[in-house]
């Protein structure tokens, strides 16, 4: 029963992230990918700090190092994802980004059957990318590069989050991690074109909503779930996110899903279900791949 609750929380987190991404895409013409990414993390950091008040306890050197690694991973993953999303459709961006967690699931595997589920999920990821169904000009090479770079930071986020959560509470980790992520993105934001004239009440309100949906709510839930679920299970369960992105794309962005793409979604669901049924809870965190 507890594992089902954890899976439910993870699905809520993924739905929240993709809803926030859909909303953020509407603000790109005003603030740009870096601007909305920075503002959403700033708002999320403020909210989480007010809720968890992480300053109440002293922090040793090991905790500081863990939070910095977690926060830098978080910031890099977010801004690179938005830079890719600015250039490509949501479904393609999410699918390419899943190279990261799938790689983590393979490197952390301790059973041969886990490799099968990972392979099935990889097949689904390749099928869901509409490379053969859109015009070549629709796939921006720089967008693909940003998405794959975001995948690398997502892998780091998962590994560093798993390790840090063993000696840092979820609330403290995610709140201070958001602060580090904001500081990481601050130089990038300052180097972009000045968007201060665009910061009206409506834009700030939308940015706050994006911060809640895409950062504060999901990252707290994931920080809790990643501690309780094996890393392999967590990684492949996250394969549900392209499915959620596809469904939200239909309802929010009016995207069309082909039969082949629905077949890919079926592969991802089977891989996720298989992993959650057979993976042992005692799976240890992996070493970082070379």
**pLDDT, one tens digit for every residue, the chain (290 residues):** 677 788 888 889 989 989 999 888 888 888 889 988 998 889 888 888 988 887 877 878 888 899 999 999 999 999 999 999 888 878 878 887 877 877 776 677 667 777 787 788 788 777 766 555 544 445 677 888 898 899 899 889 988 988 888 888 877 888 899 999 999 999 988 887 655 666 777 878 888 888 788 876 886 787 778 777 776 667 667 777 877 887 887 888 777 776 766 776 777 777 766 765 655 444 433 333 33
SS3 21: helix
Classify each residue of 6-37 as buried b or exposed e, where b means 16 or more C-beta atoms within 10 Å of its C-beta. Answer: bbebbbebbbbbbbbbbbbbebeebbbbbbbb
Tokens of 259: 């039969």
Say what the pTM is.
0.79
Query: What pLDDT does 183 receive?
Result: 95
Q: Determine the pLDDT at residue 282.
A: 41
CA–CA separation, 155 and 105 (whole Å): 9
Residue of 274, 10, 44 whose CA lies nearest to 179: 44
Q: What is the pLDDT of residue 137?
A: 44
Buried b or exposed e, range 88-103, using 16+ CB within 10 angstroms = bbbbbbbbbbbbbbbb
Residue 133's pLDDT is: 52
Residue-level pLDDT at 83 = 95
- Contacts of residue 16, defined as CB under 8 A and 6 or more positions apart, other chains included, come to 213, 214, 217, 218
Burial of residue 199, with CB atoms counted within 10 A of its CB: 0-12 exposed, 13-18 middle, 19 or more buried: middle
Contacts of 226 (CB under 8 A, 6+ apart): 158, 161, 162, 165, 234
Contacts of 165 (CB under 8 A, 6+ apart): 173, 223, 226, 227
| In contact, 108 and 226? CB cutoff 8 Å | no
Contact 144, 96 (CB under 8 A): yes
The helix or strand, by DSSP H or E, that contains position 56, with its residue range, turns out to be: none
User: How far from 264 is each of 99, 226, 233, 261, CA to CA, in Å?
Assistant: 15, 25, 19, 5
| Residue 206: predicted pLDDT | 84
């Amino acid at each position: 029963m507890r594992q089902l609750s954890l899976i439910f929380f993870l699905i809520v987190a993924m739905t929240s992230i993709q809803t926030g991404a859909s909303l953020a895409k509407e603000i790109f013409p005003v603030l740009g990918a870096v601007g909305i990414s920075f503002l959403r993390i700033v708002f999320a950091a403020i909210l989480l700090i007010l809720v968890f008040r992480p300053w109440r306890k002293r922090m040793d050197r090991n905790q500081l190092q863990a939070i910095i690694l977690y926060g830098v991973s978080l910031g890099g993953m977010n801004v690179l994802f938005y830079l890719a999303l600015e250039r490509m459709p949501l479904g393609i961006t999410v699918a390419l980004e899943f190279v990261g967690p799938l790689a983590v699931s393979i490197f952390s595997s301790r059973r041969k059957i886990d490799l099968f589920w990972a392979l099935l999920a990889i097949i689904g990821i390749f099928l869901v990318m509409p490379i053969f169904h859109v015009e070549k000009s629709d796939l921006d090479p720089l967008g693909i590069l940003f998405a794959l770079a975001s995948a690398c930071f997502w892998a780091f986020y998962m590994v560093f989050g798993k390790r840090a959560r063993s000696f840092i509470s979820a609330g403290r980790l995610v709140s201070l991690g958001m602060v580090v992520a904001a500081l990481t993105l601050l130089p990038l934001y300052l180097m972009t074109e000045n968007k201060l004239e665009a910061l009206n009440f409506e834009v700030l309100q939308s940015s706050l909503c994006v911060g809640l949906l895409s950062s504060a709510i999901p990252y707290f839930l994931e920080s809790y779930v990643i501690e309780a679920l094996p890393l392999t299970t967590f990684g492949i369960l996250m394969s549900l996110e392209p499915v959620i992105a596809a469904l939200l794309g239909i309802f929010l962005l009016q995207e069309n899903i082909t039969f082949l793409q629905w077949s890919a979604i079926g592969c991802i669901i089977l891989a996720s279900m298989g992993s959650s049924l057979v993976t042992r809870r005692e799976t240890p965190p992996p070493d970082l791949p070379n």
